[in-house]
Chains A and B, each alone.
Chain A
Amino acid sequence: MSSLEPQNAQLHARFTRALDDLIAEVRDDRSILAAALCGSLSHDLVWKHSDIDLGLITIDDKKIESGHISLNADGLNVHAFLVPRAEFRRMVEGSIRNSFTHSLLAKGRLLYTHDESIARLYDDLRVIGARDTVVQLFRSASHALAPLYKVHKFFVTRGDLHYTTLWLLHTATPLAQIEVLNAGLLVDREVIPQAMKLNPDFFRIIYTDLLDKKRTRVSIAAAIEAVDDYLRSRARTLFAPLLDYLREMGDARSVTELDSYFNKKFGIESASGACEYLADLGLIQKVSISSQLTRRSNLSVQELAFVHVEEQGR
């Protein structure tokens, strides 16, 4: 690796020079208020096939619309996205912290601005609110459940270690997001290396060992158990919005209703998968309520529903 370092330094210098030259030109364009560097060059390593991701914040003008343009800077590809200031403000303020948009901007850096309000908005990107973290944890945990279901299915029904491993690896990204979110950090696109620094033992079992070591029924079972434990022990926190909602409602809610509510409110699809998981853990109860199959149905069927029951006296 060490022999690569001088090459990387050279490459990095080339990218930086190209960017500087480009920015020197753009700075004089009166329709561009600010430039922000995003992507690898801002916070990671570049290689020969890297490009430069550049955000250009334009003046607000009815003749200027948001869009993308691919530029060439000293032979390097620059993918620039143009966004008027008002739209940029909406992106910054409206995006949930640690969502893709937020992460893209927050990991970057402001190269220059002619408008101090843009610098202020950029500074605000560093603030990660607790409410947003709760939402992102719920989202990541929900994303981990679907592959985890496949893990169990293929391990139990077929004993297919390869396929089970593939689905276990699918759980690694959302689990890494949970780890990073819990640490109050910005979630990177390459989140697993980030999480490995925070919880090396866990990610060794469910990620590196699965890739590096011989896969046996015992090692796979250990990885599955680790994932199960990880989620089970954090379930009340990870699925807090869902548990709070059902607790507050107090009576049974159909899957249609739950999916509709969480999709509308948090943009999370298939909250019902999380409900199944929580019911398996005994945190909520799986029940059913009457429903009709079609608008013209002349009889009722029982639709899957969930309810939060409390022990008497609580």
Chain B
Amino acid sequence: MTARKTAKPATSSGVSRSMTAKKTANTATSNGAPRTTIAVEGARVHNLKNISVEIPRDKLVVVTGLSGSGKSSLAFDTIYAEGQRRYMESLSSYAKRFVAQVAKPDVDFVYGLSPVISIEQKTTGNNPRSTVGTMTDVASYLNLLFATIAEPHCPRSGEIVPSRSSSQILESILSLPEGTEIELRAPAFPLYGEELEVVFAETRKKGCRRVIIDGKTVDLSQEVDIDESKVRHMDAIVDRFEVTRKKEKSIKAAVAGTLLVGDGLIRIEILKSANKSVAQKFYVGNTSHTHHFVYGDVAPEFFQFNNPEAACRTCGGLGVDKLTHPDLLVPDPQRSIIGGCFVKEAFRYNPDTWDGHIMYSLSRELKFSLDTPWKELPESARAAILFGLEQRRISISAPPDAKVKRDERVGHTVMFHGIARRIERNYRRYRQRGEADSRMEAWLDKVMVEHTCPDCRGSRLRATRLLFTIHGKTVHDVGQMNFDELLAFLATVKPAGRGADAGRHVLKEIEGRVRLLLGIGLDYLSFNRRSGTLSGGESQRIRLSTQIGSGLMGMLYVLDEPSIGLHPKDNVKMIATLRQLRDIGNTVIVVEHDEDTIRAADHIVEMGPGPGVHGGRVVVEGSIDRIMKCATSPTGQFLSGKRAIAVPAKRRRGNGNTLSIRGARENNLKSISVDLPLGTLIAVTGASGSGKSTLINDILYKALWKQLVDTRTLPGEFDELKGGEFVQKVVNIDQSPIGRNSRSNPATYIGFYDTIRDLFTEAPLSVEREYKAGRFSFNVKGGRCEECQGEGTITTQLYFMPDVEVTCSACKSARFNSETLEVTVRGKTIDDILKMSVEEAAGFFSKEPALQKKIAVLNELGLGYLTLGQSATTLSGGEAQRIKIATELSKLQHARHTLYILDEPTTGLHLADVERLLESLNRLVNAGHTVLLIEHNVDVIKTADYVIDLGPEGGHAGGTVVAQGTPEQIARVRASHTGRFLKPHIEVRK
């Protein structure tokens, strides 16, 4: 490994360095000695300045630097991309058609690459069928464990039922004396919310005409007169045989057929045998005692909720069902029914329609007025309108304002099941009958909310699957356990009997994986947790544990800020995991800003020195000592203590108003109450999974949004929000992109592009040619280049090769046509302006104060290196967040008190960036507003005016307020993990 102080710019000397590095790399390989480094030569991706760098293999390497300095460009877009590309190249052309191809990064060569895996901070999408269990494959192991060692129970008596293979069942039947007459029956279970007739129709379709209902045989081809409420047990008669070896194949097929009808259960009844003891002996040895059941061919997929045969039939394996919510159906309760209080798709009063007739008739029947505001209607009337009148019939009356009189109906009676019930019925039809194209679907989502499925109660499985238990726990119960609880539970499981050997093997696999998850601080998660509810950091850590579990060596792992979302106490575990990954023989490259991780690294590469065009070079690389000694390294400055984020000399006390949440109990919150002093910088802290996001995003933010913006918003469960009247606006500033396509950019997002276009329309040439503002937009025809439609580039799709993006030959990336580009403002075309950096633009527009103010804010937030027209897709999450803050700062309204909420705003930020972020947030507070941060970064927490620490741990062990107060007060609370980590920082101040 060759350590270098700095990488030189892309000049002739840069090339010579490149040559040297290549020589070194070649020498290493020609010697036949194993390569000890990954050598990158001539990297020019994004802002990288033709750099060359050597990274030691089999080490933990941290790439750090300011936001936008080129860390990700080096680690992900060069090293990972090249490794991936070369792997893809090895695939056949046929296989390449099915895999997204990776373009060759702009780099001369990368030596010493291994198979590379990137573990980024991407959330796993919102597939409701994906859980932590399915992500980690542990769900499959748990299913296997249950199929192997779980105790099955009788659906009727609860007694133990034997579980056999169908061959074993066949053998047991054939062991009966020849001539014994047997009947094979399959239990039939009522379907949730459906009449028995539906079960009968299904049973018939499966080829069973006769069922035994509570001991009485019923022919389904005949009329069935039965009181459904009194039905207890039903068995379908599948087949009947006289036992003989000659019929072995028929009996075998019948057993398989019965198991199919009985959903894995078969009931064997001996109708005629030589003597009673034969039957008795058979039942005792082969079936359950009371109902003569036996489970057959129970395989892992029997417990798999993503298998349609095992999934709950009501929710289809999602665990949730949807019900209408009155608040969503009636967004404006101030309005009356005639005035349109309902969502228009649900109901709109029209006296000439049937629904209008019925609503009018209902109002007469229940004596309410259709002109009364919804919220003033009696509760009983509102309930009847939404949920119907059960069995009571209403008399039809014609509305007096109906244009078409339909007297033939008047005086007749009809039932009314309610507006909400009709929507729910349509929803069930859509879901149960798989009418995926139902036009109802889109708007059903608008008025319905998820509830735990009333049939499976959230287990996602059919009831028969929950009859299998290990130590009294079902597969769902086990999936619900937090990992720490689960490990303790698994330790108590001692497989015995038939599947003991296999069971022990499976148990070992599960325990190993759970330990890995515990090792990276995810003890509060459970396998049933939906992947879509995980943070990016949690998803990343889970994927990391899967990689460690694979036990591969010689790999190259590239990770993006694994410390995000981790409380300092859990970060220690994460670092240990990264070391473990290294110690089993892998190279681990981590893009990271976290001080502890940097200190734990074997080798550090700092990119910079500045962001964007000012970065793209290696500032320093080497050991921690080398970094700390480097005077030009911002990281070194912070690590050595020469530079630090200052603890404020004085904490603000706020404006005297308080926003209070009482009785918050969503997810794991234990009916907690917190007070937020308005006009301050507040940090909400606590271990991962302690309930911070639930309290702030799901309850506080949504409650305020409901109050201030959209009454249809449904916050999480809580009792009361006090002080809401002191907040006039709530803004959630997250790290999501400012736009999803290349046409969005900082100028369009903040909104000053319109002003720039106006300047161009006022130019003499524009006036002469009568150009309007649209002429200077690359989104509409007229002024833009039509060859590339204002993109500046043209992308050609190739079948099994990566897409090729080339500069537009017509406009040469200017995005506008030549006539438009003839118009200039102070010598600059519209293209020149869009390619201008924020720094330059601040000077260029100094004579336009409105523009200058907005651009200056961007510059002050450290975004001076961005160009005004920089595509939103190229911005990092941190950059997007700062652009959003800039937008807020540029339109500060002192009169309207605003609550700004930021969830982990330090993600992707170097300590130097954090310093700038805090400055801007403090500007918001100093302007009289409140800023609320969900944060783990101690350097940020210490600067807050007020801290709310939740915990003490994650999951079940979290959800309480450990401490509230100033950072100094928190530091004094022994029970607070945050306080413990805060203490040294506060003491430094003292």
**A residues at B contact (CB < 8 Å):** 59-61, 84-86, 89-91, 93-94, 96-97, 115-117, 120, 124, 127-132, 134, 249-252, 257, 260, 264-265, 285, 287-297, 299-300, 302, 305, 307, 309-312, 314
Task: Specify which chain B residues have a CB less than 8 angstroms from the CB of A84 in the assembled complex.
Answer: 253
Once A59-B250, A295-B439, A300-B344 are accepted as A-B contacts, the answer to whether A127 and B221 lie under 8 Å apart by CB is yes
Q: Is the CB of B354 within 8 A of A252?
A: yes
Q: Is the CB of B435 within 8 A of A260?
A: yes
Alpha-carbon gap, A65 to B413, bound state (A): 56
Q: Is the CB of A295 within 8 A of B221?
A: no
Task: Specify which chain A residues have a CB less than 8 angstroms from the CB of B209 in the assembled complex.
Answer: 93-94, 124
Alpha-carbon gap, A93 to B239, bound state (A): 10
Once A93-B207, A250-B393 are accepted as A-B contacts, the answer to whether A129 and B442 lie under 8 Å apart by CB is no
Q: Is the CB of A97 within 8 A of B442?
A: no
Task: Specify which chain A residues have a CB less than 8 angstroms from the CB of B224 in the assembled complex.
Answer: 131
B426 to chain A: closest residue by CB? A257
Question: Within residues 258 to 272 of chain B, which ones have a CB less than 8 A from any CB in chain A?
Answer: none
Report 21 cross-chain contacts, Cβ distance below 8 Å, ordered by A residue.
A59-B250, A60-B249, A84-B253, A89-B239, A94-B207, A97-B221, A117-B241, A130-B221, A131-B222, A250-B415, A252-B414, A265-B197, A292-B440, A299-B344, A302-B353, A305-B354, A310-B414, A311-B411, A311-B412, A312-B412, A312-B413
Task: Specify which chain A residues have a CB less than 8 angstroms from the CB of B207 in the assembled complex.
Answer: 89-91, 93-94
Question: Within residues 343 to 370 of chain B, which ones have a CB less than 8 A from any CB in chain A?
Answer: 344-345, 347-348, 353-355, 358
Q: Is the CB of A257 within 8 A of B429?
A: yes
Q: Is the CB of B409 within 8 A of A309?
A: yes
B222 to chain A: closest residue by CB? A129
Alpha-carbon gap, A165 to B943, bound state (A): 93
Cβ of B201 within 8 Å of any chain A Cβ, yes or no, is yes
Q: Is the CB of B254 within 8 A of A307?
A: no
B249 to chain A: closest residue by CB? A60
- How many whole Å from A163's CB to the nearest CB in chain B? 34
Most buried by B among A128, A250, A295: A250
**B residues at A contact (CB < 8 Å):** 197-198, 201, 204-210, 219-224, 239-242, 247, 249-250, 252-254, 256-257, 344-345, 347-348, 353-355, 358, 393, 395-396, 408-409, 411-417, 422, 425-426, 429, 433, 435, 439-443
Contact partner of A86 (CB less than 8 A), chosen from B220, B250, B441, is B250
Task: Specify which chain B residues have a CB less than 8 angstroms from the CB of A264 in the assembled complex.
Answer: 433
Contact partner of A60 (CB less than 8 A), chosen from B205, B252, B358, is B252
- How many whole Å from B816's CB to the nearest CB in chain A? 34
- How many whole Å from B245's CB to the nearest CB in chain A? 13
Task: Specify which chain A residues have a CB less than 8 angstroms from the CB of B440 in the assembled complex.
Answer: 292
Q: Is the CB of A249 within 8 A of B415?
A: yes
Contact partner of B416 (CB less than 8 A), chosen from A117, A251, A296, is A251
Task: Specify which chain A residues have a CB less than 8 angstroms from the CB of B347 in the assembled complex.
Answer: 290
- How many whole Å from A301's CB to the nearest CB in chain B? 11
Alpha-carbon gap, A250 to B358, bound state (A): 12
- In the A-B complex, the 7 residue pairs with the smallest Cβ-Cβ separation, listed nearest first, are A129-B221, A250-B415, A90-B207, A60-B253, A287-B354, A309-B412, A94-B207
Once A90-B207, A285-B409 are accepted as A-B contacts, the answer to whether A251 and B414 lie under 8 Å apart by CB is yes
Inter-chain CB contacts under 8 Å: number:
146
Task: Specify which chain A residues have a CB less than 8 angstroms from the CB of B210 in the assembled complex.
Answer: 93
- How many whole Å from A310's CB to the nearest CB in chain B? 5
Task: Specify which chain A residues have a CB less than 8 angstroms from the CB of B417 in the assembled complex.
Answer: 250-251
- How many whole Å from B30's CB to the nearest CB in chain A? 61
Alpha-carbon gap, A94 to B210, bound state (A): 10
A310 to chain B: closest residue by CB? B413
Q: Is the CB of A59 within 8 A of B348?
A: no
Once A292-B443, A297-B439 are accepted as A-B contacts, the answer to whether A115 and B355 lie under 8 Å apart by CB is no
Once A89-B239, A292-B439 are accepted as A-B contacts, the answer to whether A309 and B201 lie under 8 Å apart by CB is no
Contact partner of B442 (CB less than 8 A), chosen from A86, A96, A251, A295, is A295
Task: Specify which chain B residues have a CB less than 8 angstroms from the CB of A129 in the assembled complex.
Answer: 219-223
Q: Is the CB of A93 within 8 A of B253?
A: no
- How many whole Å from B222's CB to the nearest CB in chain A? 4
Task: Specify which chain B residues have a CB less than 8 angstroms from the CB of A249 in the assembled complex.
Answer: 415
Task: Specify which chain A residues have a CB less than 8 angstroms from the CB of B256 in the assembled complex.
Answer: 86
Task: Specify which chain A residues have a CB less than 8 angstroms from the CB of B393 in the assembled complex.
Answer: 250, 310
Alpha-carbon gap, A120 to B344, bound state (A): 60
Task: Specify which chain A residues have a CB less than 8 angstroms from the CB of B249 in the assembled complex.
Answer: 59-61
Q: Is the CB of B412 within 8 A of A93?
A: no
Alpha-carbon gap, A125 to B254, bound state (A): 20
Alpha-carbon gap, A296 to B439, bound state (A): 8
Q: Is the CB of A260 within 8 A of B250?
A: no
Alpha-carbon gap, A153 to B207, bound state (A): 42
Q: Is the CB of B223 within 8 A of A290?
A: no
Q: Is the CB of A90 within 8 A of B353?
A: no
Alpha-carbon gap, A297 to B422, bound state (A): 19
Alpha-carbon gap, A292 to B425, bound state (A): 16
Q: Is the CB of B353 within 8 A of A130?
A: no
Alpha-carbon gap, A252 to B355, bound state (A): 9
Alpha-carbon gap, A132 to B209, bound state (A): 11
Once A90-B257, A131-B222 are accepted as A-B contacts, the answer to whether A260 and B345 lie under 8 Å apart by CB is no
Alpha-carbon gap, A302 to B345, bound state (A): 11
Alpha-carbon gap, A300 to B222, bound state (A): 43
Task: Specify which chain B residues have a CB less than 8 angstroms from the CB of A115 in the assembled complex.
Answer: 247, 250
- How many whole Å from A147's CB to the nearest CB in chain B? 28
Once A90-B206, A116-B242, A292-B440 are accepted as A-B contacts, the answer to whether A131 and B223 lie under 8 Å apart by CB is yes
Q: Is the CB of A134 within 8 A of B223?
A: yes
Alpha-carbon gap, A116 to B208, bound state (A): 19
Task: Specify which chain B residues have a CB less than 8 angstroms from the CB of A307 in the assembled complex.
Answer: 354, 414
Task: Specify which chain A residues have a CB less than 8 angstroms from the CB of B429 in the assembled complex.
Answer: 257, 260
Q: Is the CB of A296 within 8 A of B412?
A: no
Q: Is the CB of A300 within 8 A of B348?
A: yes
Q: Is the CB of B355 within 8 A of A290?
A: yes
Q: Is the CB of B219 within 8 A of A127?
A: yes
Q: Is the CB of A130 within 8 A of B222?
A: yes
Alpha-carbon gap, A299 to B345, bound state (A): 7
Q: Is the CB of B206 within 8 A of A86?
A: no
Task: Specify which chain A residues have a CB less than 8 angstroms from the CB of B354 in the assembled complex.
Answer: 252, 287-289, 305, 307
A287 to chain B: closest residue by CB? B354
Alpha-carbon gap, A252 to B394, bound state (A): 13
A97 to chain B: closest residue by CB? B221
Q: Is the CB of B348 within 8 A of A309?
A: no
Task: Specify which chain B residues have a CB less than 8 angstroms from the CB of A293 in the assembled complex.
Answer: 439
- How many whole Å from B393's CB to the nearest CB in chain A? 7
Most buried by A among B207, B240, B395, B443: B207
Task: Specify which chain A residues have a CB less than 8 angstroms from the CB of B435 in the assembled complex.
Answer: 260
Q: Is the CB of B345 within 8 A of A292?
A: yes
Contact partner of A131 (CB less than 8 A), chosen from B220, B254, B348, is B220
- How many whole Å from A51's CB to the nearest CB in chain B? 28
Alpha-carbon gap, A292 to B442, bound state (A): 10
Task: Specify which chain A residues have a CB less than 8 angstroms from the CB of B220 in the assembled complex.
Answer: 129, 131
Most buried by A among B240, B252, B355, B408: B355
Task: Specify which chain B residues have a CB less than 8 angstroms from the CB of A305 in the assembled complex.
Answer: 354
A302 to chain B: closest residue by CB? B353
Alpha-carbon gap, A35 to B746, bound state (A): 81
- How many whole Å from B461's CB to the nearest CB in chain A? 24
Alpha-carbon gap, A230 to B703, bound state (A): 65
Alpha-carbon gap, A293 to B422, bound state (A): 18
A88 to chain B: closest residue by CB? B207
Task: Specify which chain B residues have a CB less than 8 angstroms from the CB of A130 in the assembled complex.
Answer: 221-223
Alpha-carbon gap, A299 to B441, bound state (A): 15
Q: Is the CB of A309 within 8 A of B413?
A: yes
Contact partner of A85 (CB less than 8 A), chosen from B253, B422, B433, B441, is B253
- How many whole Å from A139's CB to the nearest CB in chain B? 14
Alpha-carbon gap, A297 to B252, bound state (A): 55
Q: Is the CB of B442 within 8 A of A290?
A: no
Alpha-carbon gap, A132 to B220, bound state (A): 8
Extra contacts, 11 of them, besides A117-B240, A117-B241, A265-B201 (Cβ < 8 A), are A90-B206, A115-B247, A115-B250, A129-B223, A257-B425, A265-B198, A285-B409, A287-B353, A292-B443, A309-B396, A312-B411
